[in-house]
Chains A and B, each alone.
Chain A
Amino acid sequence: DVKVTQSSRYLVKRTGEKVFLECVQDMDHENMFWYRQDPGLGLRLIYFSYDVKMKEKGDIPEGYSVSREKKERFSLILESASTNQTSMYLCASSLYGVSNEAFFGQGTRLTVV
């Protein structure tokens, strides 16, 4: 069964902290994505990666960075957390060039106080 696992369901962090959100997939997918979900705005793409050590900016990359050292793992980094980064973060993965279906993790609800 396809599985995308995010390391935390809920996180509470303080303003200015460096925050790491981890995502692991067990499907040998090339593509991995980070989205944030906010009411009324849908899902917005933060960063994505088509290969190990490769990354590309999505629509809202400001304040975030990513790391992909291994194929199965894609990390989202908030360099200095701010209250406007309080949101639901969703990781997804997909095969490259075969199907566009994206498989999502269960999400991490991040609150920055």
Chain B
Amino acid sequence: QQQVKQSPQSLIVQKGGISIINCAYENTAFDYFPWYQQFPGKGPALLIAIRPDVSEKKEGRFTISFNKSAKQFSLHIMDSQPGDSATYFCAASINNQGGKLIFGQGTELSVKP
């Protein structure tokens, strides 16, 4: 079963626009929600992460919004740039299980100049 569902599968945004990627999870024991960014030919790298005791976390142009009651979280990329073009994965884990991450299906983002 897919414990973390991610949408959309692909996204095209104009430069300067806002990119929004959504994820939903099922297991209420999850307590850590990271987003990973992957460029072609590279492994994923941590972009930003949130724990469920806060509803929002912002780092530069990247913001995670978290809705615990709806079991949903999303990544917002403000002022999207061509260099943001990559595949983005949401994930979830349980803190005492170390880095055992359950990933969403991935979103391929293309930012057009």
Bitwise, B41-52 to A at CB < 8 A (1) or not (0) is: 111111001000
Q: Is the CB of B43 within 8 A of A100?
A: no
Are A42 and B43 within 8 A (Cβ)?
no
Q: A42-B89, A42-B105, A101-B34 in contact; A50/B41 too (CB < 8 A)? A: no
| CB atoms of B99 and A101 under 8 A apart | yes
Do B43 and A90 touch (CB < 8 A)? yes
Pairwise interchain contact B101-A45, C-beta atoms closer than 8 A: yes
A42: chain B residues within 8 A (beta carbon): 4, 6, 89, 103-106
Asked if residues A104 and B98 are in contact (CB atoms below 8 Å), the reply is: no
Of A14-22, A67-75, A91-99, the one contacting chain B is A91-99
> In the assembled complex, how far is the CB of residue B93 from the closest CB belonging to chain A, in whole angstroms?
6
Query: How far, in whole Å, are A105 and B95 apart by their CA atoms in the complex?
Result: 22
Category for how many chain B residues contact A:
20 to 34
A48-B100 contact, Cβ under 8 Å, with A41-B105, A42-B105:
yes
B98 x A31 contact (CB < 8 A): yes
Is residue A106 contacting chain B, with contact meaning CB distance below 8 A?
yes
Known contacts A33-B100, A97-B98, A100-B32; A40 and B43 CB within 8 A of each other: no
Tell me whether B95 and A100 are in contact (CB under 8 A). yes
B: residues with CB less than 8 A from A are: 4, 6, 9, 32, 34, 41-46, 49, 89, 91, 93, 95-96, 98-106
Residues of chain A having any CB pair with chain B under 8 Å = 4, 30-31, 33, 35, 39-45, 48, 50, 58-59, 90, 92-97, 100-107
